[in-house]
Structure 1
Amino acid sequence: MPPKLSRSDKQALIVSHLRSTGTCHTLKELEKTLPAVASINGMQVKEYIQELVDENAIRCEKIGSGNWYWYFGDDERRQRESQRAQLQREVDRVRARWEGVVGEVETRRRRLQEQEELLWREDRNEAGRVQQQQQQQQQREAVEEECRRLRSSLLAWRTTTGTTVASMRCQTEEFRAETQRWTENVYVLEAYLTRLAGGDRALVRAVQEECYGEEYDEEEGGLREIF
């Protein structure tokens, strides 16, 4: 006897099914297909679909007289892009701080060296020179300790995030390929929408403007090219 599926498992099966189809569905279509996909009763389909919509796990838009449901992975892509951008900002922040500290260390070292040379040129008494050297040594040790602390912080950050500039470049290329793939899916959906609208371009344009929002290209009359 197969193990009983939890509610979250059934939701995951529904999302996976919508992703695999690569197109939009009406509620009636889903009431026919999802019982076999997610092992749920046909009367429960609407409830499961509404939960996924409320959780932003799938998309829902009213087109014509009914709602259409789909999942193209766009929200997931945006979330991953946001995470990548946040990581890049963190890398830039740490790098800027590191470069600033390195510059400050070099400035302090030069000043210490100049002070040491000045002390020797002025031939100060031994006690004064020892005191100055002790102060300089303390300053040098403080600077070196700050460098060690920053190195440890940078190493800990890299270990925690597991992210390097090279890996983020690889992620960027993956996002580019994924974006292109889903853009092609959108074109397929546009063709399907045009067929449903019976060639009514005004209706198609209105639906595109509502769905694409800021991504709608007035000149192209469709989705704006990202890359």
Structure 2
Amino acid sequence: MSKKKGLSLEEKRTRMMEIFFDSKDVFQLKDIEKIAPKTKGIAPMTVKDVLQSLVDDNMVDCERVGTSNYYWAFPSKALNARKHKLEDLQKQDSQAKQRKVSLQKAIDKAKVGRQDTEERSCLLKELKALREERTQLQAELEKYRECDPQVIEEMRKSNAVAKDAVSRWTDNVFSIKSWTKKKFAFDDSRINKAFGIPEDFDYID
């Protein structure tokens, strides 16, 4: 045969509360220590600890009179305690819902200005094209580095023109970033991520 399973702490607490609710009387510890094992099956060695846990949770009242402690608990108090607990939980639920609404508004606000626009797409395409052109010019310059000086000079001029163009667009990008910062209070990393701008983006030396 399997060994009988003992009562859990919560089961012991529930049964001990039944002692108070059924009798609506006031007890001393020695009274509870006699009643609990006989009528509720609570192990004698655990009665004091279970009772103290109920006192600590304000479910059972305790008052010292002379040299003795007296314990009591009435259903009306338990009902009020449950009502207060329910009110606290409802308040927490309401606060959580308000917090959720507030966070959603913050998210919606943060999304403003991050939508893809035709202007943004054009700027990014032109910036990409200029970068590609700059890469090609640098490759050409390297290719003719040891060739005709006149060709090299022409390449340098072309490269200078491309560099000026890139600088102008770099100015435009920084202007857009500056406007975005003021308008939406975004930091650099957030703006870079939104517009696909590399973190090391800067003017060409």
TM-score w.r.t. length of structure 1: 0.37
TM-score w.r.t. length of structure 2: 0.40
Larger RCO (CA under 8 A, 6+ residues apart): 1
Q: As a proportion of its length, which structure holds more helix?
A: 1
Tell which structure's C-alpha radius of gyration is larger: 2
